[in-house]
Amino acid sequence: MLKDVTFGQYYPAQSFAHSLDPRLKILMLIAYIVALFVAKTFYGLALCALFVVAAVFISRVPFGSVLRSVKGILFLLIFTALLNLFLHTGEHLLVEWGIIHIYLEGVLFAVFLMFRLIFLVLGSALLTLTTTPVSLTDGLESLLKPLKYIKFPVHALALIMSIALRFIPTLMDETNRIISAQKARGADFETGNLVKRVKAIIPILIPLLISAFRRAEELGDAMDARCYTNSPNRTKYKKLVFGWRDAVAALVAALLIAGVVLFNVYAYDICPAIYSYVVML
């Protein structure tokens, strides 16, 4: 049931993407998200799609593992597409049925927004699939290091995020085990109306909460047994250093944003005949 959740899971491999500095990968994800939301044409969106597909290929992560992350937002995709399909207006009317008016511009905008959300999820999932939670925490802590000057608990925040990322796959596995155990006892989670399905979830939530609190208590005891303290002068076993791969990746991210901006400006010069169909009105 929850096997398609890929967020927080790490796929071990020897690749160019895995060897990048975690700080740069976080910045590249931010640049990629900026490029997605800056893109106003299908040209720019296609460039973002080419970027994420190339990143998946370079990372040697199975494309199916990355695509599974989209299943978690299928409801959001369908709801958003229908909302924009019926509410977005334009000049080219396609369907008119009572109060329902569907325009060509609405169809294009719905498709555009769906692909934007899909590529956003794919890029975010690729970050966690190619970066261990420890590396991701170290990179985030290093990027937020200037906030220490205003007494912001950067290390505590990074530790919380690291524990949360580590617990996501664990809680997913625990949920699957509880669901399997309840089904073996005759529980039904797939039939009935909405109220019945909500009531069927209660036997899952209670054992899951108890298990989560037990694991949190065990983790706290283990940290106390190892004399862990939130000291500002903690050292690190592995220091983060930028290399030539990071410079190449940073250049590619910069070219991505520049390409999207150029497509926004010169979309009409590229192909005037279909300009009105690829520009979001």
- Asked if residue 110 lies in contact with residue 93, where contact means CB atoms within 8 angstroms, the answer is no
| Per-domain boundaries in the chain | 1-153+240-281, 164-229
Over range 246-272, report the average pLDDT.
81
User: Rounded to two decimals, what is the model's pTM?
Assistant: 0.78
What six digits make up the tokens of 223? Answer: 């940290």
Is pLDDT larger for residue 250 or for residue 271? 250
Question: How does pLDDT run across 119-162, given as a tens digit for each residue?
Answer: 998 988 888 888 887 788 888 888 888 887 887 877 778 778 77
Residue-level pLDDT at 251: 94
Q: Give the H/E segment covering residue 74.
A: helix 74-87
Question: How does pLDDT run across 72-123, given as a tens digit for each residue?
Answer: 778 888 888 888 777 777 677 777 777 777 777 778 888 888 899 999 989 8
Residue-level pLDDT at 273: 46
Residue-level pLDDT at 35: 92
For the chain, give the percent of residues with pLDDT over 90. 14
Please tell me the distance from the alpha carbon of residue 86 to that of residue 84, in angstroms, as a whole number.
6
Residue-level pLDDT at 280: 46
Please tell me the distance from the alpha carbon of residue 119 to that of residue 49, in angstroms, as a whole number.
7
**CA-closest candidate to residue 264, choices 253, 249, 275, 252:** 275
Please tell me the distance from the alpha carbon of residue 182 to that of residue 207, in angstroms, as a whole number.
11
Please tell me the distance from the alpha carbon of residue 136 to that of residue 244, in angstroms, as a whole number.
20
Residue 236 has pLDDT above 80, yes or no: no
Over range 180-188, report the average pLDDT.
77
Is pLDDT larger for residue 89 or for residue 251? 251
Over range 18-23, report the average pLDDT.
89
